[in-house]
Amino acid sequence: GQQLNQSPQSMFIQEGEDVSMNCTSSSIFNTWLWYKQDPGEGPVLLIALYKAGELTSNGRLTAQFGITRKDSFLNISASIPSDVGIYFCAGSNTGNQFYFGTGTSLTVIP
């Protein structure tokens, strides 16, 4: 199965800092998703992207569908302690299956 390259693997940042992470694929995707997983819980959908170049925000989170359709980016502005968790990207090209990245673990230091 296909795996997406997600980076960085982990981040340790100070509260208030901005965060950037990205996801790349060897294949073209039609849909990109970003999820967040809190400790001990399942992933929760943050943002869905359906069009190349699309830029979508959800509060302090902004995600972009790369114009090559092989990558996507997630930014978090002014991080707070509750942003701690694992962030996953997921992409789909056929609609039959979503492929998931390996995750970015975010730690926010108060």
Partner 1 sequence: DVKVTQSSRYLVKRTGEKVFLECVQDMDHENMFWYRQDPGLGLRLIYFSYDVKMKEKGDIPEGYSVSREKKERFSLILESASTNQTSMYLCASSLYRNQPQHFGDGTRLSIL
* 39 belongs to the binding site for partner 1 (CB under 8 A): no
In the numeric block, which tokens belong to residue 5?
A: 């390259």
Strands (E), 19-100: 19-24, 31-37, 44-49, 55-58, 61-65, 71-76, 85-92, 99-100
| Residue 101 near partner 1 by CB under 8 A | yes
Q: Which range, of 14-22, 37-45, 64-72, 75-83, touches partner 1 by CB under 8 A? A: 37-45
Q: Does 42 bind partner 1 (CB under 8 A)?
A: yes
Kindly state the DSSP code that residue 44 receives in the 8-state scheme.
E
C-beta closer to partner 1: residue 15 or 38: 38
> Does 30 contact partner 1 by CB under 8 A?
yes
